[in-house]
Amino acid sequence: MKIVTYNVNGIRSAIGKGFAEWLKAVNPDVLCLQEIKANAEQIPVKLFEEQGYYHYWYPAQKKGYSGVAILTKTKPLNVTYGCGIEKYDVEGRVLRADFDFASVMSVYMPSGTTGDERQAFKMQWLDDFRKYISELRKTHPCLVISGDFNICHKPIDIHNPVSNKNSSGFLPEERAWVDLFLSDGFIDSFRAFNHQPHQYTWWSFRANARAKNLGWRIDYHMTSEVLRECLKSSHILPEAKHSDHCPVLLELNY
């Protein structure tokens, strides 16, 4: 089972940059997308149907903003849109597909880079999301939470931890939240296999950051501890350049 998460920063823009051809080559079983920035009727979904995908879209109410999606070769047993908290669901941040082996979530966590108000929103989200997942695990213990967390966990996950120590996405309280989340019984699946530095999933469009590999690792597959024995491999795929992010691949045996 190959699961890929990818913040495409606009699905229509990504399609214009060869996204569909890339998808055919990688051929994941499940694809979790973030920042689709479009409604389903604006997307040429036949491109995905021709490749054998069922597709589920959860856009934000605000046009051209946020939104998540899941594409899957196996029809889910159930699909749940949102987390049941209106102020987050209007922004299209959570989509879950339940399969017989696990439930896979595409999640786009808020950014706090635009100012204090959105940073406060982000911190409230983090608190509420952790509570939501705690309740969800009572009925869905096998979770794969895939998406853009908008947080670098450790200094190894960011190109310049000293100069970014006061930057949203690397604040002590955000990093501490990841510690708590992992202690709740989750695995940062990429770091289960790879402890090398300079492994990033997002680069600023400014200052030629991607060519210089001045990036941040903010995209994750967080898996329930009960799935540890199923983890086969995880890889960042920086050669995919349809977005300011790149995809992350998780392979599971089940």
**Which residues carry out catalysis?**
148
**What 3-state class would DSSP assign to 117?**
helix
Structure tokens at 214: 């001045």
CA 188 from chain centre, in angstroms, equals 12
d(CA 148, CA 83): 16
> Considering just the CA atoms, what is the radius of gyration of the chain in Å?
17
Q: Which of 182, 109, 175 is nearest to 147 (CA)?
A: 109
- Beta carbons within 8 Å of 102's beta carbon, 6+ residues apart: 142, 143, 144, 224, 227, 252, 254
d(CA 195, CA 185): 20
Q: Which of 58, 69, 64 is nearest to 34 (CA)?
A: 69
Structure tokens at 238: 């920086």
Q: Please, are residues 203 and 236 in contact by the beta-carbon 8 Å criterion? A: no
Alpha helices in the chain (DSSP H): 11-16, 19-26, 46-49, 86-89, 116-136, 172-183
**What 3-state class would DSSP assign to 89?**
helix
